[in-house]
Amino acid sequence: MPAEGANLQKELNPLANAGRQFDEAADRLNLPAGIREVIKRSRRATIVSLPVPMDDGTLKVFTGYRVQHSIVRGPAKGGIRYHPDVTLEEVEALAAWMTWKCAVVNIPFGGGKGGIVCDPAKMSRGELERLTRRYAADLSDLFGPESDVPAPDVNTNEQIMAWIVDTYSMHERRTEYAVVTGKPLEVGGSAGRREATGRGVLFCVREACAHLKLPLAGARVAVQGFGNVGSVSADLMARDGARIVAVSDVTGAVQAPEGLDVATLIAWVADHRGVKGFPGGKPFTTPIVEVDCDILVPAALENQITRENADRIRARIVAEGANGPTTPDADRILADHGVFVIPDILCNSGGVTVSYFEWVQNRMGFYWPEEEVNQRLEQAMVPAFRDVLAKSLEHKVNMRVAAFMVAIERVVKVITLRGVYA
């Protein structure tokens, strides 16, 4: 492989990137080698083969993963994604990011993540249900309210979480809602959970705008990915007076310099399964991360901003709604260009925060109204943003390094207090 190709492949490796982000913060904290090794490595990685009867009568074997990165601050917490490109390395990286995400917003969870190599777009509802139940049954020794609590992620949803609740409950011979979060309201879900990640993006953007003295009202916003996170973020920012000037998803991209009608666009996407063809905007083919705007919200997949395109980013604020959208090489370029990046482990932590609230409500058997959930979310995320900003200013580092420093310090403190069992 040519050197340039090898370098690019290394830059796009999510596990390598998670490690680089950790190491930079750990170096700043002067962590002892032993402690560094303990908290950097995943505690457990599980690979399962999942035989599933298909609708045509054949038997197909899928590969599933579950990684627990850390449980020192509480049960492992993290979503399950269904995607053809899921790998163990990707799941390990995402599990590590979940550890730091939970720590930076200071909720009592560790980090976990799961995935199944499959293409749900090519599977029937029955096939997806059988696959989900087999995965939940094979990993029922890992899952549990006190040990490992999954949630939705890419290509998974409330219905899949409900199937996991039922499968786990049947094995345990009792109904247990707290085994997963992101459930339907009727199955122990929390009010406000669906909007939580996008709402958390809004809270972080508000704080960043205040810090930079950039009014959110009138600010031009571009959103990459118009699924749950992107659409909710766009809607809430538009309600605060921002102009959503460009939106993209896997079907295409639309723009309107005066601002898109977000409510109408959301309805269009619901009916047409994508933004392509939306009559309220003009189609365009320029990569959306390169659109001229004040605030860029990458809310799609990993590795969208790399050293190949970072110098073409024209936003003043990058609010990472997705996990790992910016590579470490790109981070340095953005910092040199004065771009204020709100890192994923802070910016999109609203989802896991309300997942924590859901877990708490399940265990109490008492549920809060949506207004209270939203207030509690703001009370968690605003101090988290300010803690990270203070660390950034104190150590003269970017927000990502600062977020990792805050998170690592919290994990190390718990390990120091608990000690290491031997």
* Superfamily of segment(s) 196-347: NAD(P)-binding Rossmann-like Domain (3.40.50.720)
Predicted pLDDT of residue 282: 96
Tokens of 114: 């799961």
Region class of 176: left (phi > 0), else alpha (psi between -120 and 50), else beta: beta
Q: Is 205 in a helix, a strand, or coil?
A: helix
Query: Distance between CA atoms of 318 and 353, rounded to whole angstroms?
Result: 21
Predicted pLDDT of residue 7: 55
Query: Distance between CA atoms of 164 and 129, rounded to whole angstroms?
Result: 9
Predicted pLDDT of residue 62: 98
In the chain, list all ranges with CATH 3.40.50.10860: 43-184
Using a 10 angstrom Cβ sphere, with 0-12 exposed, 13-18 middle and 19 or more buried, the burial of residue 144 is middle
Does 197 show up as a binding residue in the annotation? Answer: yes
CA proximity to 107, closest of 419, 376, 421: 376
Is there a contact between 36 and 54 (Cβ–Cβ < 8 Å)?
Answer: no
Does 77 show up as a binding residue in the annotation? Answer: yes
Is there a contact between 355 and 182 (Cβ–Cβ < 8 Å)?
Answer: yes
Query: Distance between CA atoms of 89 and 235, rounded to whole angstroms?
Result: 34
CATH number at 43-184: 3.40.50.10860
Predicted pLDDT of residue 281: 95
Has this prediction a pTM greater than 0.85? yes
Query: Distance between CA atoms of 237 and 222, rounded to whole angstroms?
Result: 11
Annotation says 113 is catalytic: yes
Helix ranges restricted to H, 150-292:
158-172, 193-212, 228-239, 262-272
Provide the CB-side half-sphere exposure for 327 (13 A, CA): 21
Does 228 show up as a binding residue in the annotation? Answer: yes
Q: How many CB atoms lie within 10 A of CB 347?
A: 32
Q: Which of 113, 213, 276, 391 is catalytic?
A: 113
* CB proximity list for 404: less than 8 A, separation 6 or greater: 21, 22, 24, 25, 26, 100, 345
Predicted pLDDT of residue 1: 46
Predicted pLDDT of residue 302: 83
Please list the ranges in the chain whose pLDDT falls under 50.
Answer: 1
DSSP state of 328: H
Please report, for residues 10, 79, 252, 268, the alpha-carbon distance to residue 155 in angstroms, rounded to integers and kept in the order given. 26, 11, 19, 20
CA proximity to 48, closest of 115, 112, 127, 118: 115
Residue recorded with tokens 């090489």: 329
In the chain, list all ranges with CATH 3.40.50.720: 196-347
